Amino acid sequence: MILFECERPQDGPFIETLLDTVFGPDRVRKSSYRLREARPPLAEFSQVAREGAQLLATVRYWPVIIRDMLTGTQTDALLLGPLGVHPGKRGRKLGQTLVRRSLAAVDSAGVAHVILVGDPAYFKGFGFHPALPRYITMPGGVDADRLMIRSSGLSQSLPSVGQVVPCIDYTARSAATSDHLTAVR
C-alpha cells in the first residue's frame, strides 16, 4: 500500500538519494538550487510517497521572494520542486498525486503564488501558466518557457519585470492555525 504524507526530517538523506537517481548528481548545478541553498524545505507542504520502507516519490517547497525590479516591492511565493519519482515507479500517477495533495495544502494555507521550472504540458493541468509575457528571472537564467506560475484568484498581481530571490530568513507557520507564510527580509 502506498502512503502519501508530509516529509519527515529523517527522510532528507533518502530524498537526496532518490533525486540523484532521478536527475543525476549534477542536478545541484541547476539555477533553482541557488534558491534552495542552506535552507530546509517547508515541511508542511513538502510530501513523499512511500511503500513500506521504500521512498517512491517526493515533492518539495521552498520560500522565495519575487522582487519587482521597477518599484522595488516584494511578493512572497513558494518554489515547487524538485518533483521526483523513482524510475521504476513511473506511470503510477505518484507525481500527480503528490502535486495535487501538496497544492491543496498550499491553498489551505492561503499562499498566493507558486512558481516552478518544469514541463509546461505537465504542469498546466495543475493551474500553472508560463511566466511570459512577464519578464521574471531566476538566478543563473532559466529557459523562459519553462518558468511557470500558479496564482490564487484573489492574489495581488505579479511584477512585469521581476527577479526571484531566496528568502534570507523565514517563518513558516502551521496551516492549521490559518497563518500564512511570512518572509522576513
What pLDDT shows up at residue 184? 34
Amino acid, res. 134: R
pLDDT band for 170, please (50, 70, 90 cuts). low
Contact indicator for 140, 115 with CB cutoff of 8 Å: no
CB 155 within 8 A of CB 24: no
Say what the pLDDT of residue 156 is: 63
Strands 74-85 and 129-130: unpaired
The pTM of the full predicted model, rounded to 2 decimals, is 0.87
What Cα–Cα distance (Å) separates residue 91 from each residue in 56, 88, 124?
12, 9, 18
Is residue 181 scored above 50 in pLDDT? no
Q: How do residues 27-85 score in pLDDT, each as one tens digit?
A: 877 878 888 887 899 999 999 999 998 999 999 999 999 999 999 999 999 999 999 99
- Select from 71, 85, 163, 162 the least CA-distant residue to 122: 85
**Length of the chain (residues):** 185
Highest mean pLDDT among 23-27, 166-170, 171-175: 23-27
| Side chain identity at residue 143, one-letter code | D
**Residue range 120-136, pLDDT digits in tens:** 999 999 999 998 888 88
Report the candidate in 67, 70, 50, 36 with the shortest Cα–Cα distance to residue 1. Answer: 50
Beta strands in 69-146 (DSSP E): 74-85, 113-117, 129-130, 135-137
The dihedral over CA atoms of 107, 184, 176, 114, expressed in degrees to the nearest 10, equals 10
Q: Could you tell me the pLDDT band of residue 107, with boundaries at 50, 70 and 90?
A: very high
Greater model confidence, 112 or 168: 112
**DSSP letter assigned to residue 157:** P
**Residues 79 and 53: beta-carbon distance below 8 Å:** no
Domains within the chain, CATH numbers bracketed: 2-184 (3.40.630.30)
Q: What is the mean pLDDT of residues 95-103?
A: 97
C-alpha cell at 43: 515541511
Predicted pLDDT of residue 160: 87
Confidence label for 154 from pLDDT (cuts 50, 70 and 90): low
Peptide bond into 159 cis (omega under 30): no
Distance of CA 3 to the CA centre of its chain: 21
pLDDT score of 168 more than 60? yes
Report the pLDDT value the prediction gives residue 141, as an integer from 0 to 100. 72
